[in-house]
Structure 1
Amino acid sequence: MAQVTDGPGLYQVAEEHEELRAAVRALAEKEIAPYAAEVDEHERYPVEARDALVKAGFNAVHIPEEYEGQGADAIAACIVIEEVARVDASASLIPAVNKLATQPILLAASDQVKKLVLPSIAAGEASASYALSEREAGSDTASMRTRARLEGDSWILNGTKCWITNAGESSWYTVMAVTDPAAEKKADGISAFVVHADDPGFSVGAKERKLGIKGSPTCEIHFENCVIPADRIIGEPGTGLRTALRTLEHTRPTIGAQALGIAQGALDAAVGYVKERKQFGKAIGEFQGVQFMLADMGTKIEAARHLVYASAAATERGDARASFMASAAKSYASDVAMEVTTDAVQLFGGAGYTRDFPVERMMRDAKITQIYEGTNQIQRLVMARQLLK
């Protein structure tokens, strides 16, 4: 749990970060963990988690003080997500997606748009979702078909976005749409907008039936001549996709943090179980084969933690390696989460395959971290291109 600080020769997480971890962990164990299994079983939004996070001010810690937020740094935001994910991955998407959806606004929007959106999210009165992907434009984002055209003092949006996390629960949506279909480069014809759930022509589709993170609704959202004010564009026309890609440098570490939390939760559950489960007259944690598994799980988690925090700090300070490190953190931590949760199920034996214990849920939840915000195959392409520059 370390990160290079500003002081000479220091390599540690700041004391205030560890105090934050303790506070979030206490809240998560008391207010979120008791509902995690039931939230998953009934595929319902974790309202208890939302209310607890909002009350404690952990729902969007990254929003700057000038917009009535806490102005927490990138590592603090990762710690909040990690500690919530340790008990419930679905609930961790509340702070994670609030950051994902507002990061383009922070990077490129006018002060007017920032003042319109950010204070309500900081206060927990609203939440936000991010709308980039489409059915035929996943990794190939530049091939999106959603269109926006300027008519007088309004933008008119038409199209459908898919895989929208927390759709239906969010009030604000950061949306990418094509504004110049004739642009020589597809990426230069895409712009970003802020859409409100109450805007005419906006609607939310049915929920997806998913393997994991079942407490977080994932839906299509539809724009049918959806009318928004002209000043709700984020940045200049044609800069939307570049803003989206810059956003991912800030948010891929947070997905790494989510994966890290899932993995830590699975290891903690496994350690508790192997101390209690007896076979051949002794706790299975006394067998060397089990101990080796635990050691490897712990090593991978600790390596992932360092990489996630280092990547978050690199992005925040504008390090030239930020893009590489963000992709490395996201892909490595999510691969670790999948490996560790699979091993945790194995350590529980037959019990691990049942819903009586949390590790099967954690294993299902871990899988998505290898897919969303750019598949791990895409992450490796990003990293390789950075290395080859």
Structure 2
Amino acid sequence: MEFELTDEQRQITEEVGRFADNEIRPEAKEYDREEKAPLDLVEKGAEMGLTGAQIPIDYGGAGYDMLTVALIVEELYSADPGIAGSILGTAFGSEAIIAFGTEDQKERWLPELAAGEAICGSAISEPHAGSDVSSISTRAEKDGDEYVIDGNKMWITNGSIGDFFVVLCKTDPDAEGRYNGFSQIVVESDRDGFESDKITGKMGIRASDTAELIFDDVRVPEENLVGTEGAGFLQQMQFFDETRTQVAAQGIGIAKGANERALEYAQEREQFGRPIGDFQAIQHKLADMHTRTEAARQLTYKSAWSVENRDDQLTMLASMAKEFASRVAVDCANECVQIHGGSGYVDDFDAERFYRDAKITQIYEGTTEIQKNIIARELQGKGM
């Protein structure tokens, strides 16, 4: 087994790490408090190719493989999860266009995303359909050469700032089978009948824009259909294999950021005449935090490798990585606050923000409980 990163991957990691330290960390507290999207930092990230990290070179992106993307995610999230999510989430949803879109669709939408000149979103969840994706009620009815879309989506990343969204709709309500009759359709935010309502008061990742989307007889041309009509659910499951691997990398980044801050504080804070890092109780916490983070990292890297090689264990590995890394992120953030003591409970330090930000990794892209269901299902070879 080869564990060594390439020279290019090491260089990218170092460059992204410097960007994260110099540009993101100094601004993190302000954007969190004001709950605003860091569009100026998105622009700077675009100049580094971060907004198009996964977009193929032919369409203006960097064309990085999933492991390299995971390395980038880890570095940015260790600086601040909210801002990192805004920068890397600019092209969220483009995976469907890359995998299933026509050449015209790729040339139309991908170059703008890669350049940071447009923002995309993936619209799946609804107020009454979160984990149960097959229960969505948003419909797209064919009318001549157009689709007419009605319904609403909830918890949508980039919802109030996005230029277009890849929307999962029910196109054939009479289709047999629970997973048939769904399609993915691109909807531009300037279409008549489209509205967004920004969600505020989130516990964490406040710098990442989230909104509810409303579709009221929104008309889009049939050429906005992504892939084959009726195959949207299966397309979405492939999308989750990739995005869950990225969420696992987010968890590693959050854990890394929490670990670094806990170690730094333990070496500086003195009690009973010596640094608290000299006490075995704190040493054991730090040892556990770093060991579990490294274990999650290796699992995530294997999942990233499986994405590129379309390994038959990818679905299970992606869920295992996502479930474990998100749990490690929450646990490390919790211990970081504990090591900081009372100082970790106020925003003078980053500990409390990482604690708030970590939890979302156990919720979006499929909850912890859903990941365990998938792992068990795959182990038993039961399929969907």
Which residue of structure 2 lines up, in the alignment, with residue 251 of structure 1?
243
1:278 and 2:270 correspond: yes
Spell out the pairing of 1:251-270 with structure 2 (5 A cutoff).
251-270=243-262
Give the alignment partner of residue 180 of structure 1, picking from 169, 172, 181.
172
Which residue of structure 1 lines up, in the alignment, with residue 292 of structure 2?
300
In the TM superposition, residue 15 of structure 1 has moved relative to its aligned partner by 2.2
- Alpha carbons 1:97, 1:130 under 8 Å: kept: no
**Cα distance in 2 for residues equivalent to 1:95 and 1:44:** 13
Give the alignment partner of residue 211 of structure 2, picking from 212, 219, 223.
219
Over the aligned positions, Cα root-mean-square deviation in angstroms equals: 1.1
Spell out the pairing of 1:42-191 with structure 2 (5 A cutoff).
42-191=34-183
Which residue of structure 2 lines up, in the alignment, with residue 365 of structure 1?
357
Spell out the pairing of 1:365-384 with structure 2 (5 A cutoff).
365-384=357-376
- Alpha carbons 2:51, 2:116 under 8 Å: kept: yes
1:205 and 2:201 correspond: no
**Cα distance in 2 for residues equivalent to 1:105 and 1:130:** 11
1:25 and 2:13 correspond: no
In the TM superposition, residue 91 of structure 1 has moved relative to its aligned partner by 1.6
- Alpha carbons 2:255, 2:293 under 8 Å: kept: yes
1:12 and 2:4 correspond: yes
**Cα distance in 2 for residues equivalent to 1:206 and 1:328:** 32
Per mean C-alpha deviation after superposition, the further-off stretch among 158-167 and 200-209 is 200-209
- Alpha carbons 2:32, 2:206 under 8 Å: kept: yes
**Cα distance in 2 for residues equivalent to 1:203 and 1:344:** 40
**Cα distance in 2 for residues equivalent to 1:187 and 1:157:** 19
Summarize deviations over 1:225-278 as a string: whole Å, max 9, x none: 111111100111110111011101011111011111111111101111111100
**Cα distance in 2 for residues equivalent to 1:121 and 1:183:** 34
Summarize deviations over 1:156-199 as a string: whole Å, max 9, x none: 11100000012122212010000011111132111001111112
User: Deviation above 6 Å: which 4+ runs of structure 1?
Assistant: none
Amino acid at match of 2:332: V
Secondary structure at the aligned position of 2:149 is classed as: strand
Amino acid at match of 1:247: F
Summarize deviations over 1:85-143 as a string: whole Å, max 9, x none: 11110122135434540111111111111111111001110121110000111111111
Amino acid at match of 2:370: I
Amino acid at match of 2:173: P
- Alpha carbons 1:92, 1:258 under 8 Å: kept: no
Amino acid at match of 2:171: T
TM-score for the superposition, normalised by structure 1 = 0.96
Amino acid at match of 1:150: K
Indicate the percent of aligned positions where both proteins have the same amino acid.
38
**Cα distance in 2 for residues equivalent to 1:330 and 1:144:** 23
1:347 and 2:319 correspond: no
Summarize deviations over 1:26-85 as a string: whole Å, max 9, x none: 001111111101111111112232122112111121100111211111111111111111
Give the alignment partner of residue 241 of structure 1, picking from 233, 251, 256.
233
Which residue of structure 1 lines up, in the alignment, with residue 319 of structure 2?
327
Secondary structure at the aligned position of 1:86 is classed as: helix
- Alpha carbons 2:86, 2:207 under 8 Å: kept: no
**Cα distance in 1 for residues equivalent to 2:308 and 2:163:** 27
TM-score for the superposition, normalised by structure 2 = 0.97
- Alpha carbons 2:320, 2:371 under 8 Å: kept: yes
In the TM superposition, residue 13 of structure 1 has moved relative to its aligned partner by 2.0
Summarize deviations over 1:189-212 as a string: whole Å, max 9, x none: 110011111122211113242110
Secondary structure at the aligned position of 1:237 is classed as: coil
**Cα distance in 2 for residues equivalent to 1:363 and 1:89:** 11
**Cα distance in 2 for residues equivalent to 1:295 and 1:374:** 29
How many equivalent residue pairs?
381
**Cα distance in 2 for residues equivalent to 1:131 and 1:174:** 6
Q: Go from structure 1 to structure 2 and tell me whether the alpha carbon gap of 1:105 and 1:180 turns closer, same or farther (over 3 Å shift).
A: same
**Cα distance in 2 for residues equivalent to 1:319 and 1:186:** 26
**Cα distance in 2 for residues equivalent to 1:383 and 1:293:** 29
